[in-house]
């Protein structure tokens, strides 16, 4: 198990038992969560540690049991979001509906699981002027797609179209839709072209590169695009949509606002320094890409 620890800032608020947080997953090395959280804690002058821990589902129970009072919480990546549910003392209704928790808060000897990624998507859509899109297509059928359905429900889309490579990949999405009270129209990739007519926004929850073949079809539709594959930004999907003048929501935006909500839950503070977090994450993405700072997508409205 690999652990990377970097201390920042000063002492946490007195009413919090712990000041250690970690992002867990396998692999987890390219997660932007450490960059976002460390930037926030530094700007907030909190002496908190944010770690990266490589951990798969089989190792999660033992790790969870080993956490002491110095821990404030955990951030979880797929597939741990589902695996953590039976380990926590309390789970939010939203996390139960989505089918996973991406955040665990540890306090007073108890644990609470929530899903902050939904807030991240909602905030990203609203920031891009897509707070009431009316219609949407979701690409992908995993836990991330379940979160997208919950977010779209929050902005008024209760009958989204879900497009997957194989229908069998969408079982958990269909189950989550039922819990969320959302009616999904399920289709395969081959049908995407006709499904995009008149659609306001396409939310891609596919891994980096998985939506490349769909990029020309999506771009021709003129729909706004939110591509969550931030690690490979700009994705071919984002570049294609931007090239034809479409609105492109940066994949960093939902991650940024997810981290904002996580920090609120973990620290109990609400004045989260989003601008400092955005600047740090952008610099990290530029560093990884070996580029000079500047716009990654041209031609469209890049938000």
> Tens-of-pLDDT digits for all 303 residues of the chain?
434 443 343 333 445 459 999 999 999 998 999 999 999 999 999 999 999 999 999 999 999 999 999 999 999 998 899 999 999 999 999 999 999 999 999 999 999 999 999 999 999 999 999 999 999 999 999 889 999 999 999 999 999 999 999 988 799 999 999 999 999 999 999 999 999 999 999 999 999 899 999 999 999 999 999 999 988 888 999 999 999 999 999 999 999 999 999 999 999 999 999 999 999 999 999 898 886 555 555 555 556
Residue 262 and residue 41 in contact, taking contact as beta carbons nearer than 8 Å: no
Q: Answer whether CATH 3.20.20.210 is correct for domain 3-115+254-289.
A: no
Question: How far is the C-alpha of 211 from the C-alpha of 227, rounded, in Å?
Answer: 9
Report phi then psi at 141, rounded to 5: -135, 20
pLDDT of residue 5: 40
For the CA atoms of the chain, what is the radius of gyration? 19
Q: Which of 243, 214, 244 minimizes the C-alpha distance to 229?
A: 214
User: In which residue ranges of the chain is CATH 3.40.50.720 found?
Assistant: 119-251
pTM comes to 0.91
Helix and strand numbers (H, E) in the chain are 12, 14
pLDDT of residue 82: 96
pLDDT of residue 131: 97
Q: Which is it for strands 224-227 and 247-249: parallel, antiparallel or unpaired?
A: parallel
Q: Which CATH class is domain 119-251?
A: alpha beta
User: In which residue ranges of the chain is CATH 3.40.50.10860 found?
Assistant: 3-115+254-289
Residue 263 and residue 40 in contact, taking contact as beta carbons nearer than 8 Å: yes
Q: Which residue matches tokens 């891994």?
A: 207
Strands (E), the chain: 3-8, 20-25, 48-54, 71-76, 90-91, 103-107, 110-114, 136-139, 161-164, 185-188, 201-204, 224-227, 247-249, 301-302
pLDDT of residue 198: 96
pLDDT of residue 14: 42
Q: Which residues are catalytic?
A: 81
């Amino acid at each position: 198990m690999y652990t990377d620890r970097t201390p920042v800032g000063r002492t946490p608020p007195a009413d919090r038992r712990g000041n250690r947080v970690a992002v867990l997953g396998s692999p987890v090395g390219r997660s932007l969560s450490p960059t976002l959280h460390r930037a926030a804690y530094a700007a907030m002058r909190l002496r908190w540690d944010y770690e990266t821990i490589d951990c798969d589902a089989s190792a999660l129970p033992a790790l969870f049991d080993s956490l002491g009072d110095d821990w404030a919480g955990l951030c979880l990546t797929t597939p741990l979001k589902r695996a953590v549910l039976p380990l926590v003392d309390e789970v939010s209704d939203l996390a139960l509906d989505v089918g996973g928790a991406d955040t665990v808060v540890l306090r007073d000897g108890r644990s609470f699981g929530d899903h902050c990624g939904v807030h991240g998507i909602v905030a990203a859509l609203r920031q891009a002027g897509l707070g009431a899109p009316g219609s949407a297509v979701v690409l992908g059928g995993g836990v991330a797609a379940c979160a997208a359905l919950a977010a779209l429900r929050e902005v008024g889309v209760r009958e989204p179209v879900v497009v997957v490579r194989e229908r069998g990949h969408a079982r958990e999405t269909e189950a989550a839709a039922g819990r969320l009270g959302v009616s999904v129209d399920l289709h395969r990739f081959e049908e995407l072209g006709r499904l995009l007519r008149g659609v306001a926004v396409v939310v891609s929850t596919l891994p980096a590169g998985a939506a490349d073949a769909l990029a020309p079809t999506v771009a021709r539709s003129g729909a706004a695009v939110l591509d969550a594959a931030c690690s490979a930004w700009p994705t071919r999907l984002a570049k294609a949509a931007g090239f034809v003048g479409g609105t492109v929501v940066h994949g960093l935006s939902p991650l940024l606002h997810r981290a904002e909500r996580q920090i609120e839950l973990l620290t109990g503070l609400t004045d989260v320094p989003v601008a400092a977090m955005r600047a740090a994450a952008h610099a990290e993405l530029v560093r990884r890409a070996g580029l000079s700072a500047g716009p990654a997508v041209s031609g469209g409205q890049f938000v």
